[in-house]
Amino acid sequence: MTAIKITEDILLRELFDLFPHSREILKAYGYARIVELGIEDVVIDKLSLKGFLRLMGYGEERSAVILREIQKSCNKKMEEK
């Protein structure tokens, strides 16, 4: 099984298109607020994962933990297919 490598540079739209469950993961880290504010359609095509994490105020260490969580979850989903 080949592992998928996700980088911080991926646009949220691409991430959600490839791995829809990643939206739920990010909701726990502030994405729910973007949805609540009704600005998801505006930012989803322009905001990278890195940009989102910065916008939410996460530092490098915390961002790396969140990225690993997404990476692990996406690889697990790929294995299930």
Sorted by where each begins, the domain ranges of the chain are 12-80
CA gap 75, 29 in Å, rounded? 20
Mean pLDDT of 49-71: 96
- At 16 the pLDDT is 96
For residue 24, the model assigns a pLDDT of: 95
User: What whole-number distance in Å separates Cα of residue 65 and Cα of residue 46?
Assistant: 23
Mean pLDDT over the full length of the chain: 92
> What is the model's pTM?
0.88
Contact status, residue 49 vs residue 12, Cβ threshold 8 Å? yes
Closest CA to 12 of 56, 37, 43, 58: 43
- The structure tokens 């880290």 sit at 29
